[in-house]
Amino acid sequence: MMKYGWSKLAILVAAALAALSGAALAAVPAMPHYRFENFTTANGLPDNHVYAVLVDGDRIWAGTNNGLGLYENHHWKTFTTKDGLAHRAVLSLAVDKRTGDVWAGTMGGLSRISGGRIDTFTQLNSGLSNDVVYGVSIEGENVWVATAAGGSRLNLRTGQWDLYNERDTPMVEIWVYGVSATPTKVYYAVWGSGVLEYDQKTKLWDRYEDPDGETELVLFKDQGLIHEITSSVSYVDNVLWVSTYFGDSRYDGRYWHNFLTKDSGLPSNFTNVVKGVDANHAWFCTDKGLAYYDGKNWAVYRPSLTTGKPEMMVRDAQGHVTEVPVTTAPAHNYINNIDFQGGDIWVATSKGLSHGILQH
């Protein structure tokens, strides 16, 4: 009996384990796998503290704490204030796809890099509202800028600057962290003031706030913006993605959906940047790793917060979390920015720039 009993138990356990294992294996969604190659000052990056990254065809621009790096033909070139850059700390980057000009928001103004020449716009020599430029976005002939003292728009054809602040928009705070401009809508992420929407057709402003007010409690999930302390916006395929320091939001024009660590695959609610790939796919740059959301499932890429070893965690729609063996990870878990190069990703971290080369 004992023998039979143990055998039966062993079979049952084995069967259960097999079933669980099979179920687990079957449940792991196919999320993208990358091999990360990391750049630091040791291999030419101007500085390890990378605020922004921009893919411009075969060229990679890195906005660092100590200059603007350009990676081209396997070599880094650094632009500094000696070259005319507005400030050594480059916080944001955008490329004008029509002209190829690159715009760099810095701690000391806005710079345009065009054919190797750098032109700088500051609050003293131009209509720019403030020299601390957190965000920049190009839309047609307009350069939209997020600054520490409101938003600005430069019309490249007329040279006219328009400023957006508490005097002419529903902006309560004027500390503007991010901007996403398209021909139809322009969104500003205003730190402490939610999201501002500018309708290009009607030229009217609207504001999206946290229905809970400034409280960090989430009383009304999915009924509005997750928090007032917004850090970035990304408007793509008529869907607005918003990152805050207390979770993230997706808004399709009718419904809001919020993401928190407790009910999503976000590794942290503290999100520096969200960048939408399309209406259903987005990347989240958090202080605890890089997260990818495919509309149902999540993947997190980072060095382990405990061991520092490369780590990839996949969370399926049911909330099952699986660790996927990997051998490489982004240079650091504190992620500041991301951009896409075909299937590859480039990731700006606080300890280097990472090139995620798509494996499968």
Query: Based on CB atoms, which residue is closest to another protein, 151 or 356?
Result: 151
Size of the site for another protein (CB under 8 A): 29
| DSSP-assigned beta bridge partners for residue 315 | 298, 321
Q: Is the distance from CB of 294 to CB of 349 less than 8 angstroms?
A: no
Q: What string of DSSP letters covers 95-133?
A: E-TTT--EEEEETTEEEEEETTEEEEE-TTTSS-S-S-E
Between 65 and 165, whose beta carbon lies closer to another protein?
165
Q: Does 167 bind another protein (CB under 8 A)?
A: yes
CA-to-CA dists, residue 165 to 115, 142, 156, 188, 202, angstroms: 33, 18, 21, 11, 18
Collect contacts of 302-307 with beta carbons under 8 A, ≥24 apart. 302/267, 302/329, 302/330, 302/333, 302/335, 303/329, 303/330, 303/331, 303/332, 303/333, 305/333
Nearer to another protein, 145 or 274 (CB): 145
Applying CB under 8 A, which of residues 22, 100, 319, 343 lies at the interface with another protein?
100
Residue 280 near another protein by CB under 8 A = no
Cα torsion 87, 91, 95, 99 to 10°: value is: -20
For the bound state, the minimum distance from the C-beta of residue 114 to another protein, rounded and expressed in Å, comes to 5
User: Contact with another protein (CB under 8 A): which of 115, 253, 325, 342?
Assistant: 115
Q: Which stretch binds another protein (CB under 8 A): 15-23, 155-163, 178-186, 231-239?
A: 155-163
Residue 355 interacts with another protein (CB under 8 A)?
no
Please select the residue that binds another protein; options are 163, 181, 189, 218, rule is CB under 8 A: 163
Of the pair 40, 114, the CB lying nearest another protein is at 114
Q: Footprint of another protein on residues 177-196 (CB under 8 A)?
A: none
Among 117, 263, 295, 319, interactor with another protein by CB under 8 A:
117
Residue of the chain from 6, 7, 14, 141 that contacts another protein (CB under 8 A): 141
Q: Contact at 8 Å (CB) between 282 and 234?
A: yes
67-96 positions binding another protein, by CB under 8 A: none
Select from 124-132, 181-189, 251-259, 304-312 the region that touches another protein (CB under 8 A): 124-132
127 binds another protein (CB under 8 A): yes
Q: Under the criterion CB under 8 A, does residue 129 sit at the interface with another protein? A: yes
* 125 is a contact residue toward another protein (CB under 8 A): yes
Q: Is 249 helix (H, G, I), strand (E, B) or coil?
A: strand
Least distance CB 27 / another protein (angstroms): 47
Cα–Cα distance between 30 and 298 in angstroms, integer?
10
Segment near another protein (CB under 8 A), from 32-40, 149-157, 233-241, 329-337?
Answer: 149-157
Of 163 and 242, which CB lies nearer to another protein in the complex structure? 163
173 binds another protein (CB under 8 A): no
Instruction: Output the smallest distance, CB 139 to another protein, in A.
Output: 13
Helix (H, G, I), strand (E, B) or coil at 288: coil
Q: Note whether 93 and 52 are within 8 A (CB).
A: yes
Q: Is 104 exposed, middle or buried (0-12, 13-18, 19+ CB in 10 A)?
A: buried
Q: Which residues have a Cβ under 8 Å from the Cβ of 220 and sit 6 or more positions away?
A: 211, 212
CA dihedral 347, 350, 352, 358 (to 10 degrees): -20
Residue 58: name the closest of 360, 358, 359, 355 by CA.
Answer: 355
Please report, as ranges, the residues that interact with another protein according to CB under 8 A.
Answer: 98-101, 112, 114-117, 119, 123-127, 129, 141, 149, 156-163, 165, 167-168
